[in-house]
Amino acid sequence: MACSYLTERKITVNYARETVTKSTNKGCVQGSICGPTFWNIIIDSLLQRLTDAKVHCQAFADDVVLAFSSESSSTIENAANEAMKIVTKWGSENKLNFAPQNTSYGANEKLKFQNPTIQMAGSQINLVEEIKVLGLIIDTRLNFRSHVAAVCKKSIEIYKRLACSAKVTWGLNSEIIRIIYTAVIEPIMMYASNTWAPATELEMIRSALSSLQRGFAIKICRAYRTVSLTSAMILAGLLPLDLRIREAEALYKAKKGLSMDYLPPGKELEKDIANTERPHPAKAMSIEYELVDESDPDPLGKIAGPQIYTDGSKINGRVGAAITWWTNDTESEYQTLSLHPSCSVYQAEMYALYRAVAMVKASREKVVNILSDSRSSLELLSNPRTGHPLAHAIRESTRNANAEGKEIRFYWLRAHVGIKGNERADELAKIAAQKADADYDYEKIPLSWIKNKIREETILKWQTRYDSSQTGAITKTFFPDAKKAYATIRKLKPTPVQTQIFTGHTGIAEYLHRFKLLQSPSCECDADKIESVWHIILECPRYEVARYDLEHKIETKLEKRKMHEIMENPEKRVEFLSFAEKAFREATSRHRSMNRKRNEETPPTAPTSAPTQKPQENPENEATTLRTTTTERMLRCAETAGKPGIRTRGVALFMDENTERLGIGFGSPWGKSSVSLSPGLANLINGSTSKTILKKENL
């Protein structure tokens, strides 16, 4: 097949209604399925020669990396030059020429002596400060600052596009932004993180990661851009990026057996079967299963032969499994199995199936039916490509049983539908889980348990950092515990107003005065009182009646020290947030620039001696007229916001029940009737990703 692949080949090009055909017997078609295989066959001899020369080499496709280490620069120089001779000789034998100008090397600057001189085919190889290998930039100082800067730049470009369509009160949904962050940004930032994870201990690296993550966290929780990183992270439900990178490093080491920090003493990790130990793909076995129709009056009537029911259970941190053999609707044998407390219910279900197959092999029956209520376990058995050790053992045992002339049939039935055998297996599994045996039938640790331990350690680190942070004081009062805060936030899904309450960054006097947008931080109720978050919630007499009603409903006195208890209680939380949102909407409304301008423009009205009777109108028409009038007034305000001679633009998006209109105000000394919009605004109007010209419309 290889000969026919490399000979009698033709290249055909169709261009300008002409066809040109040329024969070729060299090279491999770009993107060919066989191309990587042929290249691996060719380069294998080079890798073998380098290995025999005790050179550490790593190859991926046509990228080959050689690594040398020594305390002496001359030793590295000699070893590298010898390796280059091997590579050059191999290339000439295989009619492959290596370009020295396209080959480079980097040296760790911790060497005590001068950098080595390395040559290839008589030409000196260039010494560079950075080497990019499979997307990872390795610098001579090994601080990976360049790599972090590169991935941050790539992520920032995505953030800029996202920011155009994700604002505080409109735009992309928070969950969509979260998906973009977790599915796009985190993989970009965490690429090859097990290599450069120690660099996150450097303050400059951690600062770069935090700066990037803060922008996405603010977009997710829909907070003001002045919100601190601490508050944004808690309200967005995100873990610090440097801790996530450390998580990936710890998980990688645990998978490769490089770290035993998270394993119980004397236990080993449950690992997939290596590809070399699996059967040939042509001989791979798939175990199919059938469904038991519980709606049938006699669901087991069509199943002939003995039946084995399996089940697994986990109670109070203990794991058990059970199998029970039934013949003619009567139990004849059963087994209870105990697993290590770190094992999962999924492992218990799989191990019960494994022991059921072993029971069939030990019996004299020729046809046996195995019934399980774990569909995920049966789906795993039906996939011949999976490397799960228990699934592999079940398939091999089933293959051996078939070779002995026995037939094993697998069935899935729904749990707790009244089938006696399944109910008995469930009862035995719970009994097995409550046994206090020290000798376990199965005690390999699942990877999920390792992940949970790593995440627990990460949360503890995040909690310590959260407690010691000098920012986010108001957020800490509502959510002092980071772990509980995540559960609350995911259920609550805060609105923009709620986020402003939790952070204190909202349109109240204290916040506006802090950023020099208001002359005084005083509250409307008393000039000596600062209009803060806690003043509005706990003290302000304007909301005394609503506050009293709230305290009566939740049966709790409103105090700062009780805020976290209110937020953790679903019923109290709903009532409290309803009160807080109404209060803050009213408090912030008086500071809005639109309201201030309207109050300034409204002329005083002279009192009348007697009220005039208003003619009756259709309420629906009145509401429509009011909405239209309000929209037109706001659009006029946006239109006249610019000042001639100054390049300023005011943009506003107005929405009501029926319409959505975009108002843009701009000033021009030449009386232009159009304005050029940026791609972000153009995207809002017509979905364009380039600049757009918008014409002025007179009202």
Q: Over the stretch 83-137, which tens digit does the pLDDT of each residue have?
A: 999 999 998 898 888 878 888 888 876 555 677 888 888 888 888 888 888 899 9
Of 442, 459, 494, the position where a domain reaches its end is 442
pLDDT at position 670: 52
Residue 208 within a domain: no
Pair 344, 426 in one domain: yes
Pair 403, 517 in one domain: no
Q: What is the mean pLDDT of residues 681-693?
A: 63
pLDDT at position 226: 95
pLDDT at position 586: 93
Cα atoms in the Cβ-side hemisphere of radius 13 Å centred on 295: 0
Planar angle of CA 108, 111, 116, nearest 5 degrees? 80
Return the higher-pLDDT residue of 612 and 309. Answer: 309
Of 111, 128, 145, the position where a domain reaches its end is 128
Pair 309, 437 in one domain: yes
Please give the Cα distance from 220 to 215 (Å, whole number): 9
Residue 581 within a domain: yes
Please give the Cα distance from 452 to 23 (Å, whole number): 59
- The pLDDT > 90 percentage for the chain reads 59
Please give the Cα distance from 425 to 411 (Å, whole number): 15
Please give the Cα distance from 250 to 256 (Å, whole number): 10
Q: Which domain, by its residues, includes 317?
A: 281-295+302-442
pLDDT > 60? residue 687: no
C-beta neighbour count of 238 within 10 angstroms: 22
Of 599, 624, 641, the position where a domain reaches its end is 599
Pair 593, 661 in one domain: no
Pair 415, 289 in one domain: yes
pLDDT at position 104: 85
CB of 385 within 8 A of CB of 279? no
> Residue 668: which pLDDT band, with cuts at 50, 70 and 90?
low
Cα atoms in the Cβ-side hemisphere of radius 13 Å centred on 138: 14
Please give the Cα distance from 8 to 349 (Å, whole number): 55
pLDDT at position 667: 53
Specify burial of residue 30 (Cβ count, 10 A radius: 0-12, 13-18, 19+).
Answer: exposed
CB of 255 within 8 A of CB of 249? no
Please give the Cα distance from 287 to 302 (Å, whole number): 20
pLDDT > 70? residue 318: yes
Please give the Cα distance from 260 to 262 (Å, whole number): 6
Pair 285, 408 in one domain: yes
pLDDT at position 605: 47
Residue 64 within a domain: yes
pLDDT at position 333: 94
Return the higher-pLDDT residue of 69 and 461. Answer: 461
Structure tokens at 573: 């939380």
Amino acid sitting at position 551: E
Please give the Cα distance from 273 to 389 (Å, whole number): 6
pLDDT at position 552: 95
DSSP strand E in 146-222: where? Answer: none
Residue 352 within a domain: yes
Please give the Cα distance from 663 to 636 (Å, whole number): 8
pLDDT > 50? residue 521: yes
Say how many domains are in the chain.
4
Q: What is the mean pLDDT of residues 302-326?
A: 94
CB of 675 within 8 A of CB of 693? yes
Count how many residues are written for the chain.
Answer: 699
Q: What is the mean pLDDT of residues 468-473?
A: 95
CB of 188 within 8 A of CB of 154? yes
SS3 696: coil
| pTM for this prediction | 0.78
Please give the Cα distance from 166 to 176 (Å, whole number): 10
Please give the Cα distance from 245 to 350 (Å, whole number): 32
Pair 669, 581 in one domain: no
> Residue 74: which pLDDT band, with cuts at 50, 70 and 90?
confident
pLDDT > 70? residue 287: yes
Q: What is the mean pLDDT of residues 605-627?
A: 48
Helix (H) or strand (E) holding 23: strand 18-24
CB of 273 within 8 A of CB of 389? yes
**528 contact partners, CB below 8 Å, separation of at least 6:** 522
**333 contact partners, CB below 8 Å, separation of at least 6:** 324, 325, 359
Pair 115, 51 in one domain: yes
Please give the Cα distance from 681 to 693 (Å, whole number): 11
Pair 526, 418 in one domain: no
Return the higher-pLDDT residue of 646 and 299. Answer: 299
CB of 50 within 8 A of CB of 57? yes
Residue 453 within a domain: no
Pair 595, 681 in one domain: no
CA distances from 603 to 15, 364, 589, 676 (A): 76, 102, 20, 36
pLDDT > 70? residue 626: no
- Interior/surface letters 191-225, b for 16+ CB within 10 angstroms, e for the rest: ebbbbbbebbeeeebbebbeebbbbbbbbbbbbbe
Pair 287, 434 in one domain: yes
Helix (H) or strand (E) holding 500: helix 496-503
In tens, the pLDDT along 412-452 reads 999 988 899 999 999 999 999 988 666 899 999 999 999 99
Residue 672 within a domain: yes
In tens, the pLDDT along 199-219 reads 999 999 999 999 999 999 999
pLDDT at position 458: 96
Pair 675, 594 in one domain: no
pLDDT > 70? residue 76: yes
pLDDT at position 595: 56
- DSSP structural state of residue 534: H
670 torsion bin: left (phi>0), alpha (psi -120 to 50), beta (else): alpha
pLDDT > 50? residue 158: yes
pLDDT > 60? residue 402: yes
**303 contact partners, CB below 8 Å, separation of at least 6:** 292, 369, 409, 411
DSSP strand E in 294-450: where? Answer: 307-315, 318-327, 330-339, 367-372, 407-412
CB of 329 within 8 A of CB of 335? no
> Residue 141: which pLDDT band, with cuts at 50, 70 and 90?
confident
Residue 500 within a domain: no
CATH number of the domain enclosing 346: 3.30.420.10
Return the higher-pLDDT residue of 617 and 502. Answer: 502
Q: What is the mean pLDDT of residues 276-300?
A: 88
Residue 2 within a domain: no
pLDDT > 90? residue 293: no
State the average pLDDT for the chain: 85
Q: What is the mean pLDDT of residues 180-203?
A: 94
SS3 208: helix
> Residue 246: which pLDDT band, with cuts at 50, 70 and 90?
very high
pLDDT at position 111: 52
Residue 310: closest CA among 254, 373, 258: 373
What is the phi/psi pair of residue 137, to 5°?
-90, 115
pLDDT at position 22: 87
